[in-house]
Structure formats: C-alpha cells, structure tokens
Amino acid sequence: MSPQGETPTTGGEDDWWDKLYDATAPDTAPAASGDTLDDRFDSASGTVADGPPGRGRAPWEPPDHPPGAPRTFPGGPPPPRLPRPRVEHVGDGPPTYEPEPTALPPAHAHGLDHLVADTVLDGARYGTYTLRAASVRGDSARYRGEPRRDALLTARFGTGETALVLVAVATGARGTDGAHLAAADACARLGEAVGRSHGRLAEDIRAGRRRDLKSGLHRLTDRSYGRLRARAADLGLTPGEYTAGLRCLLLTADPGCRTRIFFGVGDGGLFRLRDGVWQDIEPPVPEAAALTGDPVIGYGSPPAETPEGDRLTMDLGIPTPPSPYVEDPVPPPAEPFRFRASVARPGDTLLLAGPGLAEPLRGEPAFAEELAGRWATAEPPGLAQFLADTQLRVKGYADDRTSVAIWEA
C-alpha cells in the first residue's frame, strides 16, 4: 500500500512521497543548492509572509501594492485620512516656549479651592448647532508657573426647546495676583444673573426683541460688575486690581431659532467663518455722538436686515411687562458695553475668542488661514481635535487661549 492506503505503483506519480519523507534517502541535491526540505519550507514561508515584519500575511489578506496604486479591502473601503497635513506652529519660526506645561502654579494649604486647571474643555449639541469650548493656559504662564488668567463657563438653564445655553469667557487683569480669581468670579456672577432670568431671556431671543435684550443684558452685566467691585472692596483691593473682561454668548435650544446673542465688555474678538473666509463681526464701541439720532444696527435698532443680509426676527410690537432682569438700582457702568444679535446660516461657524486667541487671528494671516482650513468642514471637530486646533502655536503670542465655537448644521 502507498502512504495514502492505495496500491503501490512502480515509477508512478506517488513515488515522490516515499522519497521525500524517507529518512534514509539522501537529498536530491547538495545542500548548497538551497533545495533541501528545510530550504523548501523557508521558501514557502517567505512566499506567505507578505505583510509587516514579524507577521505573516494570511492567504485571504491582500498583498502590498506600490505607492499610489488602488487597493481593495475585504471589509469595505480604506479608513479615511486627514485631508490637510497637521502643523504644530505657523509663522516665521517656532515659538520661544515649549509646547507643553513645565511648571505648576504655587499652591497654599488653605487655598486649594483657588487653584485652576491648566486646561478646560467642554462641548454640547442643541437644536441646529454644535458647541465646542476650550480654555488653555498660555505658553508663557506654563513656563513661569503662573495660573491661567482666563476663565470659561458653560451652562444650560431649563429643559427641552425652552432651554437657554450661556457661554462666558473672562480674562483677569494682567499683572494682578488674583487675576484668575476675578475672572472666575465674573463668570459666576454673570451666570447667576442669567440663570435667574433665563426664561424671559430665552423668550426674548425667540421673539427677536433686540431692544429688550440689549437693555436687559446691559443691566445684568453692570450689576455683575457692581458685585465684582464690592468683592474687591471686601478684599481691600481697588476695582482695577480685581476685575476682568467678560464676553458671552446666549443660544436657545429651539431648533427653529437661529438667533445668536453676543454681549460683554473688554478685549477679545467675535468672528464668523462663512464660505471658508473669516469675518470680523466684533461690534465697535459706540461714540457718545452715536447714541443720539437714528438707531444704529447692533445698538438698539429695530429688527431689520443686517449689512451681511441676515434678516432678524421681527418684533410684533406686542406690549410686554417691565423687564424683570434687575430688581435693585444699577451701578454705574464699568466699561463700554458691546452687543450684537445675528442670525446664523447653515454652514456658518461663530467664534467667540479671548484676547489670547483674537490677537493672532487678527495679526497673523497664516494662523487665520490654517484655522479656517481646519474648521471649514461640514462636520465639527471632536473635543480632542478642537483642543489641538485651539493650541496651534504662533511665535510672539503666548497668552492664554480661550475659544468658543458654534458650528451651524
């Protein structure tokens, strides 16, 4: 019988089996020829191993292809790739400081609640928009072991489509020991005031009552600064030693309302990315003469069409009760108040920036171009990617980076 159990043949096709596995039979060729049994096994193994080093390619796996050649995958199309190369910095050279934190701010045993994290990141999705928010300690503060002077507050008041979303960005005064505390205090005071009146505010936004909104938010802001000044007095500080710039966005959760409200005081920026181009829509501080005569768009004028073609919701003129925003007399305004109501278009990206991000966006064209390329997409970035985009570095700009971006579906 043959090894397969068949009748042995003489000089037949099965003779090779006996010869191959007969231990007493000599090799059919010298070892130097590379045709021993071990050589044949190595040759077969090498043929199968068409994958990365250390792993053989299975028979069902596709072989490697030359660069640029089309390739098919059994499980579906290849994984997507980033359409643009990622860069660590823009400008004429790398920044002076290192890209990662090097020193922690000083801590005190009885003041641990005064510490602020190096980075804060948040996000949400309501109605037709996606929210991304980040605040990062600047390269200079990271190197010197100083706390982040920027504060970020994201809050939702109410539920369902009547909910109101507030995002506040505050920047403490430079060169003051409690700058980070004043910034956090400013956000908290304003957030408390907005929270108490969120129902009326959300209703006014949906109804397009711009005059009521501007007046009411001005009062809320002034009252918050009044409390900040009172806190400074309690600490034995002058108002200038315990203050912060404060800039806010108000948005409803109603998918039928695309009105976005900006208000605040102090430095920073308000930008809109439309059709891949940045628009600086920061409302200017009105001169004294501008407060007389006909209304000015953005400063108490009736709902109308803006220069950009955005038609604001019309106020039907229905009588409303006195504003409940403020119960006590309003203290004198600390700084000029800024206000803007705009209607978003599908595909827009609205950006509220603290001074540390607004300055390079205005002063470094390469930075603005790179950020536009990253954000002018149909889908908003995830939280981690948004944080990486916010930290795009530019030489000469080492302050805190705080940004709030709204992607419109």
DSSP string, 349-375: EEEEE-HHHHHHHHH-HHHHHHHHHHH
The model's pLDDT over 282-328, given as tens digits with 9 standing for 90+, comes to: 998 766 554 443 333 332 333 344 444 444 443 434 444 445 454 45
Is residue 316 in a domain? Answer: no
Q: Predicted confidence band at 69 (pLDDT cuts at 50, 70, 90)? A: very low
Higher-scoring residue by pLDDT: 75, 167: 167
Please name the helix (run of DSSP H) or strand (run of DSSP E) that holds residue 260, with its range, or none: strand 259-265
- 239: containing domain: 115-282+336-408
Percentage of the chain modeled with pLDDT above 70 = 67
The answer to whether residue 14 scores a pLDDT higher than 80 is no
Average pLDDT over residues 79-88: 62
User: Which tokens sit at 19?
Assistant: 């010869």
Between CA 201 and CA 341 the distance in angstroms is: 13
Q: Would you state the pLDDT for residue 389?
A: 95
Between CA 367 and CA 389 the distance in angstroms is: 10
Is residue 159 in a domain? Answer: yes
The answer to whether residue 245 scores a pLDDT higher than 70 is yes
At residue 77, φ and ψ (nearest 5 deg) are: -70, 160
- CATH code for position 164: 3.60.40.10
**pLDDT mean across residues, the chain:** 79
Q: Would you state the pLDDT for residue 372?
A: 95
Q: Would you state the pLDDT for residue 328?
A: 52
The bridge status of strand 89-90 relative to strand 393-394 is parallel
Is residue 11 in a domain? Answer: no
Between CA 409 and CA 344 the distance in angstroms is: 10
Average pLDDT over residues 241-253: 96
Between CA 366 and CA 373 the distance in angstroms is: 11
Q: Would you state the pLDDT for residue 358?
A: 97
Q: Radius of gyration of the chain from Cα atoms?
A: 33
Between CA 343 and CA 381 the distance in angstroms is: 22
The answer to whether residue 139 scores a pLDDT higher than 70 is yes
Phi-psi bin for 161: left (phi > 0), alpha (psi -120 to 50), beta? alpha
Helix spans in 32-81 (H): 37-48
Please name the helix (run of DSSP H) or strand (run of DSSP E) that holds residue 77, with its range, or none: none
Which amino acid, 319? P
Percentage of the chain modeled with pLDDT above 90 = 58
Is residue 318 in a domain? Answer: no
Is residue 162 in a domain? Answer: yes
Domain tally for the chain?
Answer: 1
Q: Would you state the pLDDT for residue 331?
A: 52
Q: Would you state the pLDDT for residue 317?
A: 42
Using DSSP's 3-state secondary structure scheme, residue 323 falls into: coil
How many residues does this entry show for the chain? 409
Residue 303 · residue 297 · CB < 8 Å: no
Q: Is 164 exposed, middle or buried (0-12, 13-18, 19+ CB in 10 A)?
A: buried
Is residue 147 in a domain? Answer: yes
The answer to whether residue 115 scores a pLDDT higher than 90 is yes
Is residue 119 in a domain? Answer: yes
List residues bridging with 302 in a β-sheet.
Answer: none
Q: Would you state the pLDDT for residue 94?
A: 79
Residue 248 · residue 169 · CB < 8 Å: yes
Q: Would you state the pLDDT for residue 170?
A: 98
The answer to whether residue 18 scores a pLDDT higher than 80 is no
Higher-scoring residue by pLDDT: 72, 151: 151
Between CA 376 and CA 392 the distance in angstroms is: 16
Average pLDDT over residues 261-284: 95
The answer to whether residue 186 scores a pLDDT higher than 70 is yes
Higher-scoring residue by pLDDT: 287, 26: 287
Is residue 288 in a domain? Answer: no
Q: Output DSSP code: residue 6.
A: S
